[in-house]
Every structure is written in C-alpha cells, then in structure tokens.
Structure 1
Amino acid sequence: MKIRFGYVSTAVHLWEASPARTVTFTRYKQLEKDERYAKLLQVTSLNLKSTRRMLYYNLANEIEVYRLSSSIVPLATHPEVKWDFVSPFLEEWKELGDIIRKNHLRVSFHPNQFTLFTSPRDEVTTNAVGDMEFHYRMLEAMGVEKDSVLNIHIGGAYGDKGKTIHRFHDNVKRLPPQVKEVMTLENDDKTYNADETLLACEKENIPFVFDYHHHMANLGELPLDVILSRTFPTWERKNHPPKIHISSPKSEKAFRSHADFVDLNFLMPLIEVLRELKKDVDFMIEAKMKDLAMLKLIEDISKIRGIKRISGGAVEF
C-alpha cells in the first residue's frame, strides 16, 4: 500500500509566498471607487502567482497532494462586492490547471466553518450554497472540477442533533448537482463524530474525509478499523484513494489545538490499522508548520520497519 502526503495552502519554507493576501471590506469601502477594482485585481494576481509558486515547489519535492487556499480571491462572495474574478485572469487560472493536470496533482478546497447546511436560518444555507459555488467556479476556471473536491463539516447541532441532521439532508439538496458531485464531508472535534459523519456520507453518496485528530477528540462508538473499512467504499466513484486529515494535539490541556508538527506516537494506532487494511490513502497534514511538518512526518514514518520512502512525498508499506 502507498501513502501520499500533502499540506495546506502555504509552504512556510518559501519566502513571501502567501496565496491568501486579502482586502477587508472596510478597507475596500475606504478606497475611491476607481481604486477598488484595481485593488481586487492586484491582490488576486499576487495570490495566483503565489499559488503557482506553491505548485512548482510541490513538483520539485514530489508532493502530489495539496489543498488550495480558499482566500485566493478577496471579497468574491461579499454581497456588496461580488465580482468577476475569472475573466481578468483566464490565462493564470488555465496555467494552474495545466500544471495540476499534466503532473497528476490532487488538489482540493476546504471552505470555512460558516459554510454549513444545518442552520435553521435560510440565509445561512443560501450563503453556504454561494460559497460552494464560488469554490467550484475556481476549480472550473482551472479546468480541474471533475477531479477535485470541496470538503466541509456537517455543522452545528442547534440543540437537537436528530432534527438537525435531517435538516442537513434537506438543505444540501439546494446545491447544484455538479457542486454536490465534488463535495466531501469531514468529522469534527466537537459535534458530529466519525460515526455520524460517515452515516451522512453513506446516505448522500458523498466521500468521507476522516480526520484522525478530530476522531480522537470526539470519539464515537465504532472502532477505528470499522470506520476505515467503511470509508473506502464512499470513495469508489472517485479517481483518488480516501483522504485522511492528520495532526496531533498541541498539549493534553489544549487537545483540540493543532501542534506545530505531527507526533508519530499519536499517529501509530492509525498507521497499524492501515497496514492491516493494505489499501492506498492520502494524508493531508494540518499541523501548524504545514509543509515542514509534512516532510518531517514522511521522514519519521519511513524509519518504521517495513515502510519505505518511495518519493519526496510518498511512502510504501
């Protein structure tokens, strides 16, 4: 079996390479009207260039898995701004997509925690649909929408989990079919555990993104081997193996917070179950030190007897 490793958004090893420079709405309003559009173009251009740098950095290090920043385009979904962020950058978006497709990279987006389908407030669901459509539009602009995913959490419980999960299934129907087709769901560290999220995925035919750290912070009743065994079938319609999110606690007291690096000892129960299952997976590293944490974890795992590093970004059991 093979594990490929990826990281989130920004390679901290690179200088001044943030793909998430932004313009606040307050700052936007302070600008003269003829300056506003120019500012949006300037910041988006810088973020696209940083994203291109990140992709080439990944290629140089044989990293095949990468989460794109959701903040490439500033104020794209703000109701008073909403602007055409594709037409001015057709070549730039296309270039990113060409790099991704030519090199068979696996990319994704993870919209923020406010993108959820459990709220009793209609405007929250409307905004969630809009945000998912925005992320899909970026994938579409790159020409990688068929082979990428948009990952979100189920959302809050609002005092009644049973009633709320039914509302989730109703509200998610508001997504355009092509957007729902690339949607995945992840278990969270406080509300919907792996058991509950997996069940929702099975019901909606949505791939399940298992977060191991969240699982340890919010245990359900299913044992780890059962969760993982049921995860694989949810990915059968995709061209990639299941994605698993990896991080470790900052401390016992701050268990839910992510540490700078990943503690291999914390990860070992997961590694052992995966060795037994003998199926390929991809690890998305969510540690604070991002690419550096990922590269260190690859080195640490490859020292385990029976595990061999086969590239800059992958190991084989």
Structure 2
Amino acid sequence: MILRFGYVSTALSLWEASPSRTLTFTNWKKQDKKSRKEKLYHLTEQNLKNTLRTLHYNIAHGIDVYRMSSSLVPLATHPEVNWDYVTPFNHLFKEIGSLVQKHHLRVSFHPNQYTLFTSPQEHITANAIIDMTYHYNMFEAMGLHKDASMNIHVGGAYGNKEEAIARFNNNFVKLDENIRKQTTLENDDKTYTAEETLRVCEEHGLPFVFDYHHHWANPGNERVVELLPRIFATWEGTGKPPKFHLSSPKSEKLIRAHADYVDIEFAIDFIKALKAYGKSADIMIEAKAKDKAALRLVEELGKLRGFKRTSGGAIEL
C-alpha cells in the first residue's frame, strides 16, 4: 500500500509564491474603473502563475497531492464586482489543468467556513451555491471539473443537529448536480463528529474526508479502526483512494489550532491504523509549515521499520 502526502496552498520553500494575493472590496471601491480592472487582472495573473510555480515545485519533489488556494481570484463572488475571471486567463487555467493531468496530480479546493448548507437563512444557502459554483468554474476552466474535488463541512448545528442536518439535506440538492458530484464532506473539531458526517455522506453518496485531528478533538463514540471500513466505502466508484486530513495540536491549551509541523507521536496511531487496514490513501497535511511539514513527516516516517520512502511525498508500507 502507498500513502501519499500533500499540503495546502502555499509552498513556503519558494520565494514570493503566494497564490492568495487579494484585494478588499473597500480598496476596490476607492479606485476608478480602469484601476479596478488592472488591479484585479494583475492579482489574478500572479496567483495563477504562482500556482503553476507551486505545481512545478511539487512535481520536482514528488508531491502528488495538493490543495489549491480558494483565493485565486480576488472578489470573484462579490455581487457588486461580478467580473469575468475566466476568459482573460483561459490560457493559464488550461496550463494548470494540463500540468495536473500530465503528472497525474490530485488537486482540490476547500471553500471557506461560510460555505454552509445548514443555515435557516436563505441568503446563506444562496451564497454557498455561488461560492461552490465559483470553485467549480475554475476547475472547469482547467478541464479538471470531472476529476478534482471541493471539500466542505456539514456546517453549524444552530441548537439542533437533527434540524440542521435536515436543512443540509434540503439545501445541498439545490446545487447543480455536476457540482454535487465533485463535493466531499469533512468532520469538524467542534460540531459534527466523523460518524455524524459519515451518515450525511452516505445519505448523499458523497466521499468522506476524515480529519484525524478533528476526530481527536471531537471524537464521538467511534474509534478510527471502527470507522475505516465505512470511510473507504464512500470512495468506492470514484477511482481514487480515500483522502484524509492530518495535523497536530499547537499546544496543550490550543488543542484545535494547528501546529507548524506534525508531531509524529501524535500521528503515529492514525498512520498505524491505516497500515493495519492495508489500503492506499492520500493524506493532506494541514500544518502551518505547509510543504516543509509534509516533507519532514514523510522523512520521519521513512526512518521507521516497515515504512519505505518512495518519493518526496510518498511512503510504501
């Protein structure tokens, strides 16, 4: 079995390579029409070019799993800005998609925490649909819309989980079917446990992204080994191994915050549970040190008996 490790958004090892340069609506509004357009075009071009730089870095280091920045396009979903962010950069989007496909990389987006389908307020659901559509449009421009995924959480409980989940069930199906097909759900660190999130995934036929750190902070009654068969089952038919998230607590007091690197002592029980299950998986490292954290953890695992490092970002067990 193979475990592949990836990271989120920014390769800290690269100089000035942020793919998340942005512009606030307040600053946009202060500028004249020409300056607004120039600023939006400049930032978007920089973000897309830095994404390409990052992908080349990943390829060179054997990192096949990568989460793209949701902030590639500044003010893309703001109703008062409402600009065509695809046509002017079609060549860059296509270049990104071609690179991903050529090297068989696994990429994803993670829309922000305000992308909710459990809210009793209709405008929150409407905004969630807009945000999911924005991410899907970018994948479509890249030619990855049938392959790459967008990961979200179930959302808030609003004082009653059963009612909130019922709202999720009603609101989520308002999304375009093609977008729903590329959506995954993740358990969170305060509200919906892994088992509760799994039930929603099973209801909608969605793949489940299990976050070990979140499960540790918000465990429910199930152990990892008990959940793995159901987790893997949600990925059947996708043609991909399951994806997991991994980070470790920043401190004893800040247990939900992510540390700079992954503490191997914290992570090893999870890794061993995957090893015992015996099937390949992809693991997204969510540590603050980004690519450096992913590469360090793979290096540390590669030194253990029964773990063989096969590239910068992969371990064979």
Same-fold call, TM cutoff 0.5 = yes
Q: CA deviation at 1:268?
A: 1.4
Q: CA deviation at 1:219?
A: 0.8
Q: Name the CA distance, whole Å, in 1 between partners of 2:129 and 2:266.
A: 36
1:113 aligns with 2:145: no
Q: 2:130 aligns to what?
A: 130
Residues 68-147 of structure 1: pairs in structure 2 closer than 5 A: 68-147=68-147
Q: Name the CA distance, whole Å, in 2 between partners of 1:160 and 1:6.
A: 35
Q: Name the CA distance, whole Å, in 2 between partners of 1:312 and 1:160.
A: 45
Q: 1:58 aligns to what?
A: 58
Residue type of the alignment partner of 2:274: L
Q: 2:312 aligns to what?
A: 312
Q: 1:292 aligns to what?
A: 292
Q: Name the CA distance, whole Å, in 2 between partners of 1:218 and 1:121.
A: 26
Q: CA deviation at 1:239?
A: 2.2
Q: 1:196 aligns to what?
A: 196
**TM-score of the pair, normalised by structure 1:** 0.99
Q: Name the CA distance, whole Å, in 1 between partners of 2:202 and 2:42.
A: 43
Q: Name the CA distance, whole Å, in 1 between partners of 2:41 and 2:202.
A: 41
Q: In the alignment, is the contact (CA less than 8 A) between 1:147 and 1:239 conserved in 2?
A: no
Q: Which runs of 5+ in 1 are unaligned?
A: none
Q: CA deviation at 1:275?
A: 1.3
Q: 2:269 aligns to what?
A: 269
Q: Which runs of 5+ in 2 are unaligned?
A: none
1:206 aligns with 2:171: no
Give the 3-state SS of the residue equivalent to 2:27 in structure 1: helix
Give the 3-state SS of the residue equivalent to 1:209 in structure 2: strand
The Cα offsets for residues 123-149 of structure 1, whole Å up to 9 and x where unpaired, read as 000000010000000000000111110
Residues 5-24 of structure 1: pairs in structure 2 closer than 5 A: 5-24=5-24
Residues 135-174 of structure 1: pairs in structure 2 closer than 5 A: 135-174=135-174
Q: Name the CA distance, whole Å, in 1 between partners of 2:198 and 2:32.
A: 49
Q: In the alignment, is the contact (CA less than 8 A) between 1:188 and 1:211 conserved in 2?
A: yes
Q: 1:176 aligns to what?
A: 176
Give the 3-state SS of the residue equivalent to 2:114 in structure 1: coil
Q: CA deviation at 1:204?
A: 0.6
Residue type of the alignment partner of 2:87: S
Moved over 3 A (4+): none
**How many residue pairs align between the two structures?**
317
Q: 1:244 aligns to what?
A: 244
CA RMSD of aligned residues (A): 0.6
Q: 2:235 aligns to what?
A: 235
Q: Name the CA distance, whole Å, in 2 between partners of 1:289 and 1:34.
A: 38
Q: CA deviation at 1:237?
A: 2.0
The Cα offsets for residues 46-103 of structure 1, whole Å up to 9 and x where unpaired, read as 0011000000000110110000000000000001012110100111111000000010
Q: CA deviation at 1:304?
A: 1.2
Name the % identity: 57
Q: CA deviation at 1:312?
A: 1.5
Q: Which deviates further from its counterpart, 231-240 or 211-220?
A: 231-240
Residue type of the alignment partner of 2:258: H
